[in-house]
Amino acid sequence: MRLLFLSHELPSPIDSETLPQYYTIPFLSKLFGHDITIISFASQFARNEDLDHLRTFCTVENPIKFHKSAQKKLLSRRAIKNAVQNFPKDLRLRLFVNLLDYYYDRRMDAAISKAIDNNNFDLIVSTRPMASYVVEAATPKIVQPLDAAYEWHRQVFEKSTGLRKTSFGVQYALTRLYERRIYEKFDACLVVTQLDKALLESLNPRIRCNVIPIGVDVDYFSPGALHAQPSCLVFVSNMREPSAVAHVLDFYKEIFPLILRENPDVRLYLVGRPSREITSLSSDPSVTVTGYVNDVRPYMAKSTVFVAPEVLGTGMKNKVLQAMSMGKPVVTTTAGARGIAAKSGEHLIVADNFDDFARETVSLLNDQSFRHRLGAHARSLMKERYSWETVSNTLNEVILNVLGGP
């Protein structure tokens, strides 16, 4: 079958939103013989090796260079038309496209239209930001939002104050309207958890959701030869995102002191792009703020315990899957473990309040045999249920179902 994949960034293993396409496209090509074409924007973080890798399995049109900062200065008639036409009549406003966080570029519009006109594609698969380009296409189509974005905006809106609260309130309202109106026009909508499915279907029962979990590269994220350092906690995230900043600050202020009280030698590594607030924590000799790193595995490997104190958010947490695949003992929350078929106490530890999170972390720091047992079970679960080959098989079943069978 001929498949057209649309992505707002060149699919990459380091971009959580395009990571599923990067890993499933090779399997769809190798295992099922699909003839695949990718059209995407170039990413400022894209790597040549990602492009080369994908081109061994499919046709990748030259990514179109596009910077979101430039987009914010433009008012696209097409994007406004798409947005306005999909809102209720009494809410049709003159909206700037950046408020919806969707990409628009005339070159991209032309490239997609030309590809559809010149090729007899059986199916289109689109990431969320690219959905407006093909919302009216006659070709069978799947949208891949992964999660219910409006719910994330709602959570951040409720936690925010001042002008940020107003901004996130607008984002929440517009995203909610967009998701309600756009996704029903696709033959399938792919999300990663049952909760995201329930959220979108409660928004609009005509949205046809299928749950396909995020996978993990179990070969790349493997235990390896590096050993954990004593009393080492590791947290990985993009700590410029408001929700991640809140999680880290809560952990540092409310949980970390309780851990230090029991284990004064413990060190906390914060791995990922930091905000100014997070960078300032490096003044504490017990805290290391690494900044952006090309490879998180050495830091995951050194962790005695991997911590993911998530409270806000939707979807699944890639970093939790990756740490589990490396055989690391993980302490997280219900939100951090969402979508993973794991049992607390067997594959990871779930703790939803500050005292419990600290106590469970200290317990793991002090119990090597339990750490090893938890990590081994986590690794086995990832290999059995969350390899990208397994995920790709599920995706192919959805593709065949949309097209009416094999």
Among the listed residues 351, 358, 330, 349, the one whose alpha carbon sits nearest the alpha carbon of residue 259:
358
**Identical fold, 2-70+100-213+388-402 and 232-385:** yes
Quickly state the pLDDT bin for 241 (edges 50, 70, 90).
confident
pLDDT, tens digit (0-9, with 9 covering 90-100), for 73-87 = 343 444 444 444 544
Using CA atoms, how far residue 232 sits from 41, 226, 246, 260, 268, in Å, is: 39, 14, 21, 11, 6
| Whole-angstrom distance, CA of residue 288 vs CA of residue 274 | 11
Q: How confident is the model at residue 102 (pLDDT cuts 50, 70, 90)?
A: low
Least confident stretch, 31-40, 75-84, 102-111, 295-304: 75-84
Tell me the Cα Rg of the chain. Answer: 22
Give pLDDT, residue 332: 98
Q: Report which listed range, 101-110, 226-235, 247-256, is most confident.
A: 247-256
- Mean residue pLDDT of the chain comes to 89
Quote the CA–CA distance of 292 and 310 in Å, as a whole number: 20
**Distance of alpha carbon 82 from alpha carbon 191, whole angstroms:** 23
Q: What are the residue ranges spanned by the domains of the chain? A: 2-70+100-213+388-402, 232-385
C-alpha 16: how far from its chain's center? 4
pLDDT in tens, 131-177: 989 999 999 999 999 999 999 889 888 888 888 788 888 888 888 98
Indicate if the pLDDT at residue 70 is higher than 80: no
**Which residue would you say has higher pLDDT here, 45 or 68?**
45
* Averaged pLDDT for residues 32-42: 95
* Fold annotation for 232-385: Rossmann fold (3.40.50)
247-273: average pLDDT: 96
Look at residue 236 in the predicted model and tell me its pLDDT.
96
- Residue 323, token pair as written in the block: 């740490």
Residue 68 in this model has a pLDDT that exceeds 70: no
User: pLDDT at residue 225 above 80?
Assistant: no
- The domain covering 2-70+100-213+388-402 belongs, at the CATH homologous superfamily level, to Glycogen Phosphorylase B; (3.40.50.2000)
